[in-house]
Amino acid sequence: MAEQKEKDGKDPESQMSTAAGHGRGTVDPTSSSDSISISSVHSSNHDGPHSRSKSRPSLDRVSTTVSLGPDNPVEHYSSFVEIPDSVYDRFSPRRKLGIVVLMSFCSFLAPISSTSVLAATPEVADEYGTTGSIVNITNAIYMLMMGISPVIWGPASEVWGRKSVSQVTSVLFCGCSIGTALAPNLAAFFIFRILTAFEGTAFILVGSACLADIYRPTERATAMGWFLSGTLIGPAFGPFLGGIIVTYTSWRVIFWLQTGLSGLAAIGCFVLLPETIHHRKLDDLEGYTRRRKLSVVWGMVNPVRVLVLYRYPNLIMAGLASSAVIWNMYSLLTPIRYVLNPRFGLTTPLQGGLFYLAPGCGYLVGTLFGGRYADYVVKRWIGKRGGVRIPEDRMRSALPFMGVVIPACMLVYGWSVEKEVGGIPLPVITMFLQGVAQLFCFPSLNTYCLDVMQGRGSEVIAGNYFVRYLFACAATACVLPAVEGIGVGWFSTISAAFLVAGTAGTMAAIRWGKGWRDAIDFKRRQARMKEREAAREELEREDQDQDEKIMSAQEPNQASTSTRADAVAGAVDLEKGTKVLEADAK
């Protein structure tokens, strides 16, 4: 009974903290070993700060080790768990490559759906009797939902596992694609597009988490580069495919093609995708009552878990940097048909769609080099630091491309179109170079999110996608009115300035990120220790009260005597207090 009482008396935050700790890794600053052993503290699964079990975790700062030297993670957990190299060797290189290819294909679906309709915007508007601006709002809302959904799917993948979330979302994505293809009116089109976006982001999020599960920190960016090829090629090739389809058949065929592709993705998730997560949080809840389990699970998947991570300024800087790059991407892709078709006298969707091949080819080229370069930079700085790996070093590889190459290309693109100079080749070349440069930025920024807080990587990157797709939503919604109002040249200048600001934030995170993390971690540890001390004192008071009740029930005469003694003592104390007051008055 006492043991059950302890379990039921555990506070939700401690349950979340304890459950989050299993299967996680932080870093031992004193170790530089490449070989590590794993140990899960299952005995503490149900012990919160109110528990008096001998298996309660130590309150001291805990640590683990990861490959290639010490790390400096954002958060430390209340369970001692080490991540061994053997965890990353569970799958053969060929199997890992298969996982990357499958998840890259899945991540291709949501972004291609976001832009494939761009080439068909006039046709969709004509069928539903509305304007292109209204149809473009659906794309903005699509981006908004892509930003909101990660705060749900990220924690969910930690609780139920990567495979389960991928299976559920792939089936729902396929069903919503069918609904979009059959939409009889604009309202139905809006609804099914929104639902499609809500499921589609899970592929991007879970795919990134899978890479963190199976690749060592110094290998992740290379794999991330290949994975992101699907995420970024989708938005670039989507309008091209949409242009071909709209030129020769109905715009609804775009979504029937999307349905077929999502069906293949669903089959792959059920047949080919293994479970990659090291430890599911749901497994820690065995023995809990159904009601208690639901309460704890809600605490684990609560979106607030993702949002509160932005107490760390370094994550804010990484989010703004990612947002600057994604803003540039969608502000470039969204208005192509409205800007370049009139500029060069093009008349068909297919002709306008050809311009999307330029950044798409840039993404393909960047895939070959961007991730590898990010891993190279990390290894170089590990050598400079004598074997110590600091996560912020990861972002150094993005600085020249985010701060110089992309802004310069954006300015040349915008003003060459505005002033009608350079013909077709100049904007095509600048769009290609931007595509290459973006693949040198995203692998670095995404992998940083996985490295900086190992064990909650899916939640960190979910928060990053939340911010970046909010900016993508804003870019999609405002780019056409802005281009019509101030011109493509000045709008491109604003985008370039945003990129420079994002670069400045990234440099600040590289310079001061570790100090920010250490300061916040120290404050959180101090606050947590105070909470635990208060909980212990409360428990001791409860035990003392219970012991007194037992004594009073067993020895009524002694209790009566004690009561009289207390009354006498109270009278004495009252007399002493009166004398003290009189002395103070004098």
Tens digits of residue pLDDT in 374-418: 989 989 998 898 888 888 988 999 999 999 999 999 999 999 988
> Using an 8 Å Cβ cutoff, are 497 and 408 in contact?
no
pLDDT value at residue 556: 56
Give the total residue count for the chain.
586
Question: What is d(CA 80, CA 314) in angstroms, rounded to the nearest whole number?
Answer: 25
Taking CA 173 as the corner, what is the angle to CA 115 and CA 120, rounded to the nearest 5 degrees?
Answer: 25
In tens, the pLDDT along 70-85 reads 343 334 443 223 456 6
In tens, the pLDDT along 157-178 reads 888 889 999 999 999 999 999 9
List CB contacts of 406: < 8 A, sequence separation 6 or more. Answer: 325, 328, 434, 437, 438, 441, 496, 499
Nearest to 305 by CA among 11, 509, 12: 12
Question: What is d(CA 531, CA 539) in angstroms, rounded to the nearest whole number?
Answer: 12
Can you give the three-state secondary structure of 53-101, one letter per residue?
A: CCCCCCCCCCCCCCCCCCCCCCCCCCCCCCCCHHHHCCCCHHHHHHHHH
Of 81 and 117, more confident: 117
Nearest to 434 by CA among 348, 539, 532, 328: 328
pLDDT value at residue 135: 83
Distance of CA 85 to the CA centre of its chain: 24
Considering only the top CATH level, what class is 92-280+298-526?
Answer: mainly alpha
Question: What is d(CA 180, CA 175) in angstroms, rounded to the nearest whole number?
Answer: 9
Q: List the chain domain ranges.
A: 1-89, 92-280+298-526, 537-585
Of 338 and 4, more confident: 338
The mean predicted confidence, pLDDT, of the chain is 78
Angle of helix 457-486 relative to helix 186-214, nearest 10 degrees, comes to 140
0.85 exceeded by pTM: no
pLDDT value at residue 59: 38
Q: Is the pLDDT of residue 40 over 70?
A: no
In tens, the pLDDT along 384-396 reads 988 888 889 889 9
Give the range among 498-507, 530-539, 571-580 with minimum mean pLDDT. Answer: 571-580
